[in-house]
Structure 1
């Protein structure tokens, strides 16, 4: 009981720490900046006094480097504000050490403390929401602004550092005037950009609408999601292209704009405001397709002149696959009858006529197992991510190292492909690295051809991973029903629930080998998975139930034909 409490307490600590980690770090940065000021006031040595500030500089400069040159991290205009204000006061305090300094010098130094307060205002105005587009003929509204709030913020950090050094080595305060003038110049350029954006807004909207009318799209692919979710539309683009009709991609946020425009030659339009959506809905648009349950979906669904179709970005027994919000759509495309039953079994009342069984086109190239006696020599381990809420945390990574170790003991090659979102969680990211190190060490020792990192996560699609292995270990994830198309054996790790309760909650697990969270039956289930699979016949029936009872040849045509009917109002 004591060990359970310790584990539970550790899990709670990790969740709280991960949730508030950024806020705690920013608070620590502000505290260190303030500490430097207090040490100067208390007349400690200059070297000791500026040490905490140097630590803050180091962290902030590292963030700038990662954001600008590594493409990671984000601009934290509000989170870093307190630290930046305290840090900006440093030149004033250094200038007035020992009661020295002129009134002009104090004034110029004080200007630095005011600059960070302006940053949030500039962030909202310079980067103000505006319609942008790319690949739209006769209306390329991609933002080309050079002076952004990030540029001003990064320069200010540099200027404060230079000003602090200047005060330490007694350079004339007039040098500060040059820094201030240049930063004000950047702000003037930003203000000019703001003015132009407001002035051009109406004409841009009209130009965009005219360009869309000329392009005459038949449907919209609508996207609103957290940064890094591009895979949600990436999995559908090829099949929407195969419909054979023109379409546009409408985004509500610009975070993934660059990634999405690299995926397609179709017009991509950012519509940050609700009223922007009204401008792009031209008469020739007959339908809108959605790939998630994002809250901002309602902004377009409110328009009753077109047919709204929910696709989702995976079909599984997870809660998002029976979310009650799906009721607001005109059509819900599901892979098989299981997709319909899932809503009803969880008390979600949606009329049957809203559902359309279309199969799961993405699995059309997954090769089915041809030999029921095929020996298992390579296993895919594909854990999902932890989700946004505790009651949907199906991720098996906390026990992943033990699972992979047990697979290696059975002398099989392992393909390790974690969910991309798992890299956002520090604890899970550490587990991923440990598993990768384990596979690397085993590969060097035994010569077995394991795959991890780039080769498994981006070098191959998940469906190519399916074709390269003989079995899979996963958890409650859309990966499992997709893998079911292959009719190969699989195990599911029951991270929430156990025994019959788990099987009842996640019925697909009936045709897999369920591993308990405490791994008490790990060896038994892996032996069945690898050496004595007896569930192939059951999996074949489950495949029809989950993925539609369609012929393997032309499997994706079921989706294409259903989509065409919606678009053509048939």
Structure 2
């Protein structure tokens, strides 16, 4: 549409034809707006070809002026010279605004980003509108609209006043934007400098004196790995701190009372060496992890974001940490078998402190429906076809479950599904379409059992309460990504309020739809643990979901798409030994459902109890206590290490006996 609009606009200018000129110009503007709103990757590609939005708008205006000149060839063309000069002034203002926006953004991009910390001393006020700061293409299109409309009106009426008025409005908009940005560069309006911000940060560290913390670095979809450790971290003894590396990740961390700092640069990260921080837990490995491991005064423990029998749970990188904290004996054995260089003495069993919220097994389903949670994992980086069941077995499993009129399906795919293998993404889409079609069919069969309208209203109210709490941590707008996320003062109790609001939201969510309606859960809410509590049966792959679900001791099944026989599959993956194994054709689903509805036919009940102990460790002392004990011990090791470093750094002072010997030998005088 964009290319066609320029072609037709050129034809309309050369003929000349006012209808063609007007239609092509309007189409081109609409296509450009759509491009920036819905196809930003294509807009970026055009930019690489130097066909930027500025170039496109200049060409569009040039063709309009050319059309005007062609239409008015028999008249004095000098009157349009003023319009051309006005357009040049407008574009000059656009480029000046862009330069100012870059400069303002630089002054606002400080070396440390914070949450839950009173950073008002840095004098960073709300940012200018995003249209002025970072949406240069949309700014140009919006500000150029009056000029374009005026030129078209002149082409239609023959009166140059319309074009003059339009160009004047565009120039005025450019002047307002220029002044708005220029004011931000006045000495009194600038925030603290980078040096002042770092001095403030060091002073805050000295005042707060953090002792324990979590380090996290990752991509957009990986924040869940850190969020699962927020509550356990908050319950540790000491003063906790969260250390991040990517600015966008500050927004991704869920609501918490724990102070959060983001230090994108390595040099600034090293300032933690002289702080009171003693130990950091690491939920994941990343390329930037090696940078923080250089700090000798801090001890590091790898806690992982989940444990499974997959090779990724025994990454050789784990040997870089001082300790590896695992759930139970199974993980210790897994590292021993993997032989990746992790010393058994460095492995500490802490259980899974996040699993307190999972409700225990209560027996057979009591309602009219058996709730089945199908939670497959993603395809992974290694291309192993056995990683995820979505490609080979997902549709068969869902089809078999939907065929049972007494099943309610909860489908929760991994957030990264389809990110490596497009086939997984396509299968995920088809599965969701199957579930929606099944819901339409069920809705036609069930005229009763629907919740009252007040249930939907209650969910809306609870969602508004939760959104208000989770977004109130930020004082800036959603578009203001360049600025630091500064909260004027920390608000104690926010995490508890968010936890209560989340629980209320989940209760309202499950009550807001009929008990027979299948659900597709792809967002962060409801949580996977909330789905665990609603499910009577889990179907998954070899992943940490199985280990966590075992905390409930409910029945589960694992899909075997590895190509191994069932015997070899069970031998290769110990987490499978207490659950049923499904083949890719899902032929075992009816028997599996029967064993769930009739626990006397369940052959794995005792095995699940034993496997839970093997995977998650004993329930006494609780995992929360073991997690805290491990933290305290690692902090003591950090204290001992710092004391040793201090002793080794002292100058060597000769003893009195050594001085007497040297004096007698003539080496010391006076």
SS state at 2:222 partner: coil
Partner of residue 493, structure 1: 559
Partner of residue 430, structure 1: 429
8 A Cα contact 2:361 2:552, kept in partner = yes
Deviates more, 1:74-83 or 1:352-361: 74-83
- Judging changes above 3 Å, is the alpha-carbon distance between structure 1 residues 372 and 414 closer, same or farther for their aligned structure 2 residues? closer
Instruction: Give, in whole Å, the separation in 1 of the partners of 2:93 and 2:268.
Output: 38
- Residues 352-431 of structure 1 aligned to structure 2 (within 5 Å): 352-369=344-361, 371=363, 377-387=370-380, 390-391=383-384, 394-398=387-391, 399-410=393-404, 411-422=406-417, 427=426, 430-431=429-430
8 A Cα contact 1:132 1:142, kept in partner = no
Query: Which of the numbers 337, 344, 354 marks the counterpart of 2:329?
Result: 337
- Judging changes above 3 Å, is the alpha-carbon distance between structure 1 residues 369 and 176 closer, same or farther for their aligned structure 2 residues? closer
SS state at 1:225 partner: coil
8 A Cα contact 1:498 1:516, kept in partner = no
- Residues 467-478 of structure 1 aligned to structure 2 (within 5 Å): 467-478=533-544
Instruction: Give, in whole Å, the separation in 2 of the partners of 1:453 and 1:301.
Output: 43
In the alignment, structure 1 residue 184 sits paired with structure 2 residue 153: no
Instruction: Give, in whole Å, the separation in 1 of the partners of 2:46 and 2:123.
Output: 29
Instruction: Give, in whole Å, the separation in 1 of the partners of 2:109 and 2:571.
Output: 49
In the alignment, structure 1 residue 216 sits paired with structure 2 residue 209: yes
Instruction: Give, in whole Å, the separation in 2 of the partners of 1:123 and 1:317.
Output: 50
Instruction: Give, in whole Å, the separation in 2 of the partners of 1:451 and 1:423.
Output: 26
Instruction: Summarize deviations over 1:437-481 as a string: whole Å, max 9, x none.
Output: 246336533557156659896664433332332211112321111
Instruction: Summarize deviations over 1:307-364 as a string: whole Å, max 9, x none.
Output: 0111121112234322222221111111122223333434522211221111111223
Q: Offset at 1:397? A: 4.0
Instruction: Give, in whole Å, the separation in 2 of the partners of 1:118 and 1:332.
Output: 49
- Judging changes above 3 Å, is the alpha-carbon distance between structure 1 residues 80 and 161 closer, same or farther for their aligned structure 2 residues? farther
In the alignment, structure 1 residue 97 sits paired with structure 2 residue 89: no
Query: Which of the numbers 188, 201, 206 marks the counterpart of 2:194?
Result: 201
In the alignment, structure 1 residue 560 sits paired with structure 2 residue 555: no
In the alignment, structure 1 residue 250 sits paired with structure 2 residue 250: no
- Judging changes above 3 Å, is the alpha-carbon distance between structure 1 residues 454 and 47 closer, same or farther for their aligned structure 2 residues? same
SS state at 2:193 partner: helix
SS state at 1:317 partner: coil
Query: Which of the numbers 606, 610, 613 marks the counterpart of 1:537?
Result: 606
- Judging changes above 3 Å, is the alpha-carbon distance between structure 1 residues 502 and 143 closer, same or farther for their aligned structure 2 residues? farther
SS state at 1:295 partner: coil
8 A Cα contact 2:104 2:181, kept in partner = no
- Judging changes above 3 Å, is the alpha-carbon distance between structure 1 residues 223 and 113 closer, same or farther for their aligned structure 2 residues? same
Deviates more, 1:151-160 or 1:301-310: 151-160
Instruction: Summarize deviations over 1:419-453 as a string: whole Å, max 9, x none.
Output: 34459896466346425524633653355715665
8 A Cα contact 2:117 2:259, kept in partner = yes
- Judging changes above 3 Å, is the alpha-carbon distance between structure 1 residues 40 and 367 closer, same or farther for their aligned structure 2 residues? closer
8 A Cα contact 1:132 1:141, kept in partner = no
Instruction: Summarize deviations over 1:150-205 as a string: whole Å, max 9, x none.
Output: 355542331233433232223213343223323433553566699945x6111111
8 A Cα contact 2:86 2:171, kept in partner = no
- Judging changes above 3 Å, is the alpha-carbon distance between structure 1 residues 253 and 459 closer, same or farther for their aligned structure 2 residues? closer
Q: Offset at 1:382? A: 1.8
In the alignment, structure 1 residue 440 sits paired with structure 2 residue 409: no
8 A Cα contact 2:100 2:182, kept in partner = no
Query: Which of the numbers 140, 153, 176 marks the counterpart of 1:156?
Result: 140
Deviates more, 1:219-228 or 1:426-435: 426-435
- Residues 519-530 of structure 1 aligned to structure 2 (within 5 Å): 519=586
8 A Cα contact 1:33 1:87, kept in partner = no
Partner of residue 668, structure 2: none
Deviates more, 1:39-48 or 1:300-309: 39-48
Partner of residue 39, structure 1: 8
Query: Which of the numbers 99, 117, 131 marks the counterpart of 2:112?
Result: 131
Partner of residue 515, structure 2: 449
8 A Cα contact 1:254 1:270, kept in partner = yes
Partner of residue 7, structure 1: none
Instruction: Give, in whole Å, the separation in 1 of the partners of 2:46 and 2:109.
Output: 20
Q: Offset at 1:520? A: 5.7
Deviates more, 1:287-296 or 1:32-41: 32-41
Deviates more, 1:89-98 or 1:494-503: 494-503
8 A Cα contact 1:152 1:187, kept in partner = no
Instruction: Give, in whole Å, the separation in 2 of the partners of 1:76 and 1:124.
Output: 25
SS state at 1:229 partner: helix
- Residues 321-336 of structure 1 aligned to structure 2 (within 5 Å): 321-336=313-328
SS state at 1:248 partner: strand
- Judging changes above 3 Å, is the alpha-carbon distance between structure 1 residues 50 and 463 closer, same or farther for their aligned structure 2 residues? same
Instruction: Give, in whole Å, the separation in 1 of the partners of 2:365 and 2:519.
Output: 31
Q: Offset at 1:235? A: 1.6
Instruction: Give, in whole Å, the separation in 1 of the partners of 2:588 and 2:403.
Output: 16
Larger RCO: 1 or 2 (CA < 8 Å, sep 6+): 2
- Residues 272-287 of structure 1 aligned to structure 2 (within 5 Å): 272-287=264-279
8 A Cα contact 1:78 1:120, kept in partner = no
8 A Cα contact 2:542 2:575, kept in partner = no
Instruction: Give, in whole Å, the separation in 1 of the partners of 2:274 and 2:100.
Output: 38
In the alignment, structure 1 residue 146 sits paired with structure 2 residue 156: no
Instruction: Summarize deviations over 1:256-296 as a string: whole Å, max 9, x none.
Output: 32343x61122111211111212244432110111111221
Instruction: Give, in whole Å, the separation in 2 of the partners of 1:121 and 1:48.
Output: 35
In the alignment, structure 1 residue 516 sits paired with structure 2 residue 578: no
In the alignment, structure 1 residue 316 sits paired with structure 2 residue 298: no
Say how many residue pairs are matched: 527
Instruction: Summarize deviations over 1:465-515 as a string: whole Å, max 9, x none.
Output: 323322111123211111122222211223444435644553322332222
8 A Cα contact 1:293 1:320, kept in partner = no
Provide TM-score, normalisation by structure 1: 0.79
Instruction: Give, in whole Å, the separation in 2 of the partners of 1:288 and 1:88.
Output: 52
8 A Cα contact 1:363 1:482, kept in partner = yes
SS state at 1:217 partner: coil
Instruction: Summarize deviations over 1:501-542 as a string: whole Å, max 9, x none.
Output: 644553322332222335465556555666643122332222
